[in-house]
Structure 1
Amino acid sequence: MTSEQQPGSPPQPGGVVVGEDGLARPAWASVDPLLREYYDTEWGMPVRDERGMYERISLEAFQAGLSWATILRKREAFRAAFAGFDPETVAAFTEDDVQRLMDDASIVRNRAKIRAAITNASATIRLRAKGGLVDFVWSFRPERTPMPRTYADVPTTSAESVALSKALRKEGFAFVGPTTMYALMEAVGIVDTHLLGSHRRATSGVWPA
């Protein structure tokens, strides 16, 4: 945020927007109340539980090709449809469950992504023998995090997201491409891509300012 910016003023090109509440956010989180709440309270905060990590991986996969706002608005419906993203329950889903989900207009009805969520539930369970999904994903934390001043400075992939994608595929996961995995790493706090000047920068406790 520059010193001359006032609440409600136009953003610097690709930079933060100062809201009426005086808080600086990126443009994508500055208008829609649902996205603003998600940005202010959840995005970039560490996820350290298996169910939470499995849910984030599933939702990031469903988001591919769509807007995150679409997924966020359907999040509670996804939770209901996928048994609260309990890996044990989802791993036991049958073809009848796949068809049930394909008939559920409240979620994203994509057969390949639905099957991937079931596949990934089984893979999550298998990973418990190797320390678990959470530690596995967090092991790809980089030594440094980006320091973006504008949205254009935010990467869409990294060497670590490429490596994480490859490693998860080796463990039997699907729909875990490098771009999707970088988005996951942003969402769960493994990297901090909050813009410099944002009120959320360095609030996760993982990375310093």
Structure 2
Amino acid sequence: QNSPPPPPWKSSHTMNIVPSSTHTYRSSAVNVSFNELEFSSFLENEISVVPQARLPEVELFGRKYGPFRPSEAVRIPLWIAQEFDRHGWIRVEELPAWMETLSTLIEEEKQQSNGGAALGRVPFDYITVGRWVCEHLARHDSSGTESSRYALLLRDLEEIRTNKMFGANSQSLHQLLDFDDGFRFGSLDHVELNNRRTLILDTLHLLNDIDEQGEDDQDQDG
């Protein structure tokens, strides 16, 4: 059996991540880039993987990962897992916990649709992370059964939530998005937020107009 190609960096090398002029983050050590939100998703989330080869230590922002030994499970940031997976160096051992409950998330979202409630709570990066995990499973699942099942569940959840958002107008979206302190969008994935940004901005303007109208009414009453 042929051994995998050697990593493109030495164990003493520090991966330096810097923003490029096009607002993507690039590593000087590996050929991988993400936009800012994708980078945040892949940096902040860790996943349990099993190395398929002996790999050197990786240092990232003062944190060290590895050295990696075959068949010894380890948790690493998703962006490192993605790069290792591109070379065939790792296998995902354990899915993110929320992916194991996709069926439950879908049922809860459906129930909220029937009751006219807000969007259900999901991880801020469930689409980005979920799609990558499904792609990984598809490459390593010879039968395709597991990867297809998760991909279908993820698509169903996306569609239900998308239909909710695109069925809402500016006057009802503020309830749907579950605004909380400082207008944080606690129920939206960043992909969903980007896809609906125009209506969200319209809603914020509407809420501001309502607030200003209320202040004017109070001044007149006074």
- Same-fold call, TM cutoff 0.5: no
Whose strand proportion is higher, 1 or 2? 2
* TM-score, normalization by structure 1: 0.26
Which entry has the higher C-alpha Rg, 1 or 2?
Answer: 2
* TM-score, normalization by structure 2: 0.25
Q: Which has the higher contact order (CA 8 A, sep 6+)?
A: 1
